[in-house]
A and B are shown apart, each in its own frame.
Chain A
Amino acid sequence: MRKSPNIGKLVNISENATLAFCLISLCGLVFNIVFYEMLRDKINKFKDIIVISDKLEIIAAIIFILFFIFHISAIISLISQLKFFKRESLLRSFSFFISIISLLMIFGDFALLSDISKEYLHGIYEGIAGEFFILYLSQGLHLLFMILVIVLVGLSKKEIRKNPAKKIVLKDESIFINTNYIGILCSISGLLILIILSIFMPLWAIRKGIIILTSMIILPYIIIAVYWLITKVREKIGEWYDEKQYQDITKASLFTLASSVVLLAVIFAFQYWAAGFDLLDVIWFPAYLFITMLIFSSSTIFLSKKDINME
């Protein structure tokens, strides 16, 4: 295969920067967890939290900024890996999905901490345990993302050492496949969250959070789709896909249309005959969005890859 000269170096530089930020952020994460644990302990014992907050809030703020820079750097590295390797990868798609959710959760952490301290200072204790639970869940997500970044950088360095020059691919299929992988991940996460919300949360709480949650979950797909559009902007619309890709997405669209009508008919029947099944008043659109996205992305991947046994 023809190769172009050492573009791998640029990917290497971006990955080294990401790795450095990742290791510093990992220390920051440990600090955060210790800080949250101290805060939780004080709150549980109804002690004063002002002293500990005043002492540590500047460090916590610096860590938030560091996390933000790390995430941006990691997202740039992921996109440059996507561009350099020209190969579909479920791990890379999963990392991209986690990167966006983890980035959004940095703002979520900030909002949660601010809520916890406000509620505690005003004597409202009911929601604090739940907020700490989400905060720790979010730290787990940050940790998962850091581990994924370390693994991906390691794999990428190994691959670049073997093949330091970029593959020449005029019609790139990897971004097409990766976008659909991300579509599957977003839609499965969305459906899982809708199910969890429907079981455990009251209707008013679902109504309050559904728009933000749906937007958060769908954001990775929107970002990768926009990136794909940017890569296609110089081409005519008719050249965005090659003829097999057109055939695959046409079949996938037909299948999505037919199966989503059947699924929605089943949901309609439930709503019509089953007493008390009025939840869809609130979640019908996110449910429809995630179901059609899941069917479309998975059937496109299936049709694209069903006869693969690449050389």
Chain B
Amino acid sequence: MLKNNLRKFRFENNEMSQQDLANAVGVTRLTIHSIEKGKFNPSVLLALKIADFFNMKVEDIFYIEEE
């Protein structure tokens, strides 16, 4: 199962809102929300864009958790 630390990084980054992150990576606020909740798995492109935005590696933000 794909998990992520998106919420944590968002708050560490000046407590930015979901909307601001959505604007930065070109998706809707609902998409960011669903990724954070683990309800939607982003594409490789979107994961790379998010990682790039936070200046991190993809695997720092996204990780697999055994069910």
Q: Which residues of A contact B (CB under 8 A)?
A: 1-2, 167-173, 176, 239, 242-245, 247, 304-308, 310-311
Contact = CB atoms under 8 A, between A and B. Distances in A.
Interface of B: 17-20, 22-23, 26-31, 33-34, 37, 39-40, 42-43, 46
8 contacts: A1-B19, A168-B19, A170-B26, A171-B23, A244-B40, A307-B33, A307-B37, A311-B17
Given A304-B30, A311-B17, A243 B46 contact: yes
Contacts of B23: 168-171
Contacts of A307: 33-34, 37, 39
Given A170-B23, A307-B39, A244 B31 contact: yes
A240 to B, nearest CB: 12
A144 B37 CA distance: 40
A244 B17 contact: no
B28 A310 contact: no
Contacts of B30: 173, 244, 304-305, 308
A304 B23 CA distance: 18
Contact of B31 (A239, A242, A311): A242
A242 B33 contact: no
A244 B32 CA distance: 9
Contacts of A176: 28
Contacts of A173: 28-30
Contacts of B39: 306-307
B55 to A, nearest CB: 20
B32 to A, nearest CB: 9
A236 to B, nearest CB: 12
B28 A242 contact: yes
A168 B19 CA distance: 8
A1 B28 CA distance: 15
A226 B23 CA distance: 24
Contact of B27 (A1, A244, A304, A308): A244
B9 to A, nearest CB: 15
Given A1-B17, A167-B19, A311-B18, A247 B26 contact: no
Contacts of B19: 1, 167-169
Contacts of A310: 18, 29, 33
Given A1-B19, A307-B34, 17 more contacts: A169-B19, A170-B22, A171-B23, A173-B28, A239-B26, A242-B31, A243-B27, A243-B43, A243-B46, A245-B31, A304-B30, A307-B37, A307-B39, A308-B30, A310-B33, A311-B18, A311-B33
